[in-house]
A and B are shown apart, each in its own frame.
Chain A
Amino acid sequence: MLRKIRIAVSVSTAILLTIYIIDFAGIMPSWFGFLAKIQFIPALLSVNIVVLVALIIATLVFGRIYCSSVCPLGLYQDVVTYISRLVHKKKRFRFRKALTVMRWSFVIAAVVAFLSGLTILVGLLDPYSSYARFAVHILKPAYQAGNNLAELIFTQFDNHTFYKVGIYLISVVSLATTIVITAFVGYLAWVNGRIYCNSICPVGTVLGFISKASLFKIRINEDACNSCGACGRTCKASCIDTKNHKIDASRCINCFDCLDVCSTSAINYNYSFRLPIKNRKKVVNASRRRFMMAVGVTGVAATKLMAEKVPFTGNTSVVRKTPITPPGSLSLDHFSQKCTSCHLCVSKCPSNIIKPAFLEYGVGGMLQPTLNFDNDFCNYDCTICSDVCPTGALLPLTKDSKHTNQMGQVQFVMNDCIVFTDETSCGACSEHCPTQAVHMVDYKNDLTIPEIDTSICVGCGGCEFICPATPRKAIFVEGISKHKTIKLIKEKVEEVKVDDFGF
């Protein structure tokens, strides 16, 4: 029963979250975003106390149910393991010793990386972010291809329920990273079940540590046990020591698979009165401590070095001195510290202008999203990216605060402008400018030429996107390291009376 509940909860959580991430047509109501916000690392980074306390209490009471039922990467591994068992009918798991040093090394690495401004490593280790990238870069294109196929079929019958969507390779680095992580985790799951969760995943380690003290635990009743070992063979976390009738609570992910295979009902999930770790002898291993300390210090130094910005000239048509961070990110510093590169904003942006960075932010900011106006620009009224961000890297904006949020500043190079070079009308930039920070002023021969006012520019990139000048855009947006608030002058509505045709 418990196992069935676990499967139902984890499957529905993962499926709903996946649909939410890959949904480009707005089918899923936006409140489904809570599924991303209840994930551990996002809640930690956004200092979402409610979620954090809830997750910790849940772990203290029930054990690692987060890992079995909430974490989407957990379900991904379970699916892989399930398939591997279908293929290898005789597949058996066996108890292994906990890889304690390894587990905690990853936790330390993640903390050190975070503190030294290398959030990328946190993002690579966070199971939610890894899964979200898998959904964005692998599942979504497949979903879009399916949609386009449906569009093709339905449109033949004059049904316009579906519309074509462009399927683009968002970023080579992101796709490669995603494939590597997905394949790596998948391989581990195929061979060893949940070994990723119990030796690499920092969330698994921390929650595992907490769950040692959990009230409810799976235990073996030695009196009823006939030592058949079935539970140990089915345990994908390899945490049941059937010889000694012990279960390592720190690695048990509460999948409840063992409960269903026990023929004597000797293994149970029940309430415990004893507090664990009572009679254990404290062994202080000085050499190990020194080692860990050295690892930590080296890590900080190395990551600090990596986080140094490397000036980058990419292959985009506009080379910015400072990359543009998405709306609501406050500043380059805030953003780079909080973003785990889950790419939810990348997927949700209706204009598809949020792209994972390559080296724009330096090596340490690889994969963190930046704005790219090659194919579209930021919609003045849209606040979706800041609404969906689960880690607090982008803080929510209202429509009004979005209107006055400056994330970049327009730059105009008159010598490259069509009006200057060709002496023909254009004005495409001003046409797209929501605040008229780019406006047209009289030039010569009835022509108008753009004039800019950076103080009221929001940095939406409309001008840059549409500028037809080649090979260099005559107008573009330069990033700013701290977002600003612009002052918009409210214009009075004039009463104009029109009572004649004029011809």
Chain B
Amino acid sequence: MDRRIFLRALALTGATFSFKDSGAMSVLSQSGVSTKSGKPYDLVAVMGGEPAEMFKKAIAELGGIGKFVKKGQVVVVKPNIGWDKGPEMAANTNPQLVGEIVKQCFNAGAKEVKVFDHTCNEWRNCYSNSGIEDAVKKAGGKMIPANEDSYYREVPLPKGVKLKKTKVHEDILDCDVWINVPVLKNHGGAKMSIAMKNHMGIVWDRRFFHANDLQQCIADVCTLDKAAVLHVVDAYRLMKNNGPQGKSEADAVMSKGLFISQDIVAVDTAATTFFNNVRAMPLESVGHLAKAEALNLGTMKISELNVKRIKL
């Protein structure tokens, strides 16, 4: 048996166990349950707290991290670390939030927690200057490189419309579960960069996306079989203008929000709606939302979901 087959088997076994434990057929249908009514929440929105504090509240409403991460699992936490910028710029995911998630994964018994992003700027600078490397290491996690083609393996995306196959980072493919932790940003090309757009950090060839209908490719890459078990949108600071990199701190808004869900379309829709507080951004203009809904990746109809709203 070669290494790849072995690792694939390992990953599949891990994935299978994670399905069984949650008692559901698919990862997407896993849901938290309100502690009072016993009714599951599809989405939890928190406002007004510090990043770690908001995550603690939100994850508790979904039934705790233990619902998603099991003992002995290898977990990947995938924040946005695309830019060589400090946390105050809102170009990358908040380091305190990433640190807290890593910590909770270990509390749930994770064997290993790995963190990476395929960065746009020089990767070592991005890792350290974003503050994420520090936070992750403090929490006991590992920063994994993603700067070379050889860290990626090609996978088919049969459900994709334009993007039929792409190279995905091996740690996403080989881990037991992964958690998607984007930051809420305006984006010059894709209009918004949230949970779906954050998938461009797990693939190698991003130029293909831009050259072949960006909005469709963003939706397509989210059809990856190995979907994230949880999407945590960091809106502690959001990037209002000039995204995804931002020119200065003037582009960042202290919005103190956090959105968490297993439904990637719902969480991006909710976050975009929240973004409308600071700048008009019609949902129709964020093309990948509707395209993902058409691919049955989730729903844009927040009103039909069981949403828990918490103001701190």
Interface of A toward B, CB cutoff 8 Å: 26, 158, 160, 163-166, 350-351, 376, 379-382, 418, 422, 424-428, 430-436, 439-440, 446, 448, 466, 468-470, 490-494, 496, 498-503
Q: In the assembled complex, how far is the CB of residue B276 from the closest CB belonging to chain A, in whole angstroms?
A: 5
The 8 closest A-B pairs by CB, nearest first: A427-B189, A468-B211, A491-B250, A427-B188, A163-B145, A430-B188, A468-B210, A424-B213
B182 in the interface (beta carbon within 8 A): no
Residues of A within 8 A of B189 (CB): 425-428, 430-431, 440, 448
Q: Which residues of A contact B45 (CB under 8 A)?
A: 501, 503
On whether the beta carbons of A448 and B207 are closer than 8 Å, the reply is no
A418 adjacent to B247 (CB under 8 Å): no
Is the Cβ of B47 less than 8 Å from the Cβ of A491? Answer: no
Contact yes or no, A446 B287, CB < 8 A = yes
> Quick one: given A426-B189, A432-B120, A503-B274, are A379 and B145 in contact (CB under 8 Å)?
no
A502 lies within 8 A of B191 (CB): no
The residue that A498 contacts in the complex, of B188, B250, B257, with Cβ under 8 A, is: B257
**Residues of the B chain whose Cβ atoms lie less than 8 Å from the Cβ of A351:** 122
Quick check: A439 and B250 within 8 Å, CB to CB? no
Main secondary structure of the interface of B (DSSP, over half): mixed
Does B60 belong to the interface (CB within 8 Å)? no
Known: A164-B145, A426-B210. A380 touches B188 (CB 8 A): no
Residue-by-residue, is B165-192 near A (CB-CB < 8 Å gives 1, otherwise 0)? Answer: 0000000000000000000000111110
Chain B residues positioned under 8 Å from A448 (CB to CB)? 188-189
Q: Known A-B contacts: A430-B189, A436-B247, A496-B278. Give 11 more (CB < 8 A).
A: A26-B124, A350-B124, A379-B122, A425-B190, A428-B206, A439-B242, A446-B191, A466-B210, A468-B207, A496-B254, A503-B303
Asked whether, in the complex, the Cβ of A502 is within 8 Å of the Cβ of B276, the reply is: yes
B253 in contact (CB, < 8 A): yes
With a CB–CB cut-off of 8 A, which chain A residues contact B124? 26, 350
A-B contact pairs, 27 of them (CB 8 A): A160-B145, A164-B147, A164-B148, A350-B124, A379-B84, A380-B84, A422-B211, A424-B216, A425-B213, A426-B210, A426-B211, A430-B188, A431-B120, A431-B243, A431-B244, A432-B245, A434-B245, A439-B242, A440-B188, A440-B189, A446-B284, A466-B120, A491-B248, A498-B274, A499-B47, A502-B277, A503-B45
Q: How far is the CB of A344 from chain B (nearest CB, A)?
A: 18
Answer whether A496 and B276 are a contact pair too, CB < 8 Å, given A350-B124, A427-B190, A439-B242.
no
Specify which chain A residues have a CB less than 8 angstroms from the CB of B108 in the assembled complex. none
On whether the beta carbons of B84 and A381 are closer than 8 Å, the reply is: yes
- The interface residues of chain A lying within 8 Å CB-to-CB of B149 are 166
Given contacts A381-B125, A426-B189, A432-B120, contact A469 B211 (CB under 8 A): yes
Q: Is B215 a contact partner of A424 (Cβ separation < 8 A)?
A: yes
**Chain B: CB-nearest residue to A424:** B213
Per-position binary interface string of chain B over residues 224-265, scored 1 when its CB falls under 8 Å from any chain A CB and 0 otherwise = 000000000000000010111101111101111100000000
Residues of B with C-beta under 8 A to A430: 188-189
B270: chain A residues at CB < 8 Å are 501, 503
Q: Does A491 contact B148, Cβ atoms closer than 8 Å? A: no
Report yes or no: B207 in contact with A466, Cβ–Cβ below 8 A. yes
Q: In the bound complex, do residue A428 and residue B125 qualify as a contact, i.e. CB atoms below 8 Å apart?
A: no
Q: How far is the CA of A160 from the CA of B207 in the complex (A)?
A: 28
- Given the known inter-chain contacts A380-B84, A446-B285, A448-B188, please indicate yes or no for A493 contacting B213, CB distance below 8 A: no
Known: A164-B145, A427-B187, A493-B250. A436 touches B242 (CB 8 A): yes
- Does B6 make an interface contact (CB < 8 A)? no
With A164-B150, A164-B151, A440-B188 as contacts: A425 and B207 at CB distance below 8 Å: no
Whether a CB of chain A sits under 8 angstroms from the CB of B164 is: no
How far is B125's CA from A382's CA once the two chains are assembled, in angstroms?
A: 10
Chain A residues contacting B248 (CB-CB under 8 Å) are: 490-491
Smallest Cβ distance from A486 to chain B, in angstroms?
A: 13
Assess whether A496 is in contact with B273, with CB atoms less than 8 Å apart: no
Q: Does B17 contact A (CB under 8 A)?
A: no
Q: Looking at chain B, what size class is its interface with the partner chain?
A: 35 or more
Contact indicator B214/A496 (Cβ below 8 Å): no
Set of chain A residues within 8 Å of B120, measured between Cβ atoms: 431-432, 466
Contacts of A163 in B (CB 8 A): 145, 147-148
Near A by CB (< 8 A), chain B positions 42-89 give: 45, 47, 84
On chain B, the residues within 8 Å of A380 by CB distance are 84, 121
Report if B112 contacts A (CB, 8 A).
yes
B-chain residues with CB within 8 Å of residue A26 when the two chains form the complex: 124
Instruction: Provide the bound-state CA to CA distance between A379 and B123, in Å.
Output: 11
Interface residues as binary, B277-312 with A (CB distance below 8 Å gives 1, 0 otherwise): 110000011010000000000000011000101000
CB neighbours (8 Å) of B307 from chain A are 503
Report how far A492 CA is from B249 CA in the complex, Å.
9
Q: Do the beta carbons of B214 and A425 come within 8 Å of each other? A: yes
For residue A490, which residue of chain B has the nearest CB?
Answer: B248
Partner of A350, one of B122, B142, B256: B122
The CA-CA distance from A500 to B311 in the complex, in Å, is 9
B20 shortest CB reach to chain A, Å: 26
Contact B190–A496 (Cβ < 8 Å): no
B144 interface residue, CB < 8 Å from A? yes
Given the complex, which residues of B lie within 8 Å of A502, measured CB to CB? Answer: 273-274, 276-277
Contact B144 A160 (CB under 8 A): yes
Check if A426 sits within 8 Å of B214, measured CB to CB: yes
Task: Report whether A498 and B256 are in contact in the complex, using a CB–CB cutoff of 8 Å.
Answer: yes
User: Chain B's nearest CB lies how many Å from the CB of A404?
Assistant: 13
For residue B143, which residue of chain A has the nearest CB?
A: A160
Residues of A within 8 A of B211 (CB): 418, 422, 426, 468-470
Q: A432 to B309: give the CA distance in the assembly, Å.
A: 35
What is the bound-complex CA distance between A424 and B216, given in angstroms? Answer: 9
Contact between A491 and B247, CB atoms less than 8 A apart:
yes
Q: Tell me which residues from 118 to 153 in chain B have a Cβ below 8 Å from any Cβ of chain A.
A: 120-122, 124-125, 142-145, 147-151
A166 / chain B contacts, CB cutoff of 8 Å: 148-149
Looking at A26, A351, A498, the one whose CB has the most chain B CB atoms below 10 A away is A498
Name the distance in Å between A11's Cβ and chain B's nearest Cβ. Answer: 31
B143 surroundings in chain A (CB, below 8 A)? 160
User: In the complex, what residues of B have CB within 8 A of residue A440's CB?
Assistant: 188-189
Q: How far is the CA of A376 from the CA of B122 in the complex (A)?
A: 9
Which residues of chain B are within 8 angstroms of A381 by Cβ–Cβ distance? 84, 125
Contact B215 A425 (CB under 8 A): yes
Check A492 against B250 for contact (C-beta < 8 Å).
Answer: yes
Shortest beta-carbon distance from B279 to chain A in Å: 9
Asked whether, in the complex, the Cβ of A431 is within 8 Å of the Cβ of B122, the reply is no
Q: Which residue of A lies closest to B282 (CB)?
A: A446
Please give the distance in Å from B241's CB to the nearest CB on chain A. 9
| A397 and B5 alpha carbons, distance in the complex (Å) | 51
Residue of B nearest to A162 (CB): B145
Please give the distance in Å from A182's CB to the nearest CB on chain B: 29
Contacts of A492 in B (CB 8 A): 250
Residues of chain B contacted by A493 (CB below 8 angstroms):
249-250
Q: Which B residues are in CB contact (< 8 Å) with A491?
A: 247-248, 250-251
Nearest chain B CB to A2 CB, angstrom units: 44
Say yes or no: B148 contacts A165, CB within 8 Å: yes
**Complexed CA–CA distance, A154 and B239 (Å):** 39
Which A residues lie within 8 Å of B210 (CB)? 418, 426-428, 466, 468
Q: How far is the CB of B92 from chain A (nearest CB, A)?
A: 14
A435–B214 contact, CB under 8 A?
A: no
Q: Does B287 contact A501, Cβ atoms closer than 8 Å?
A: no
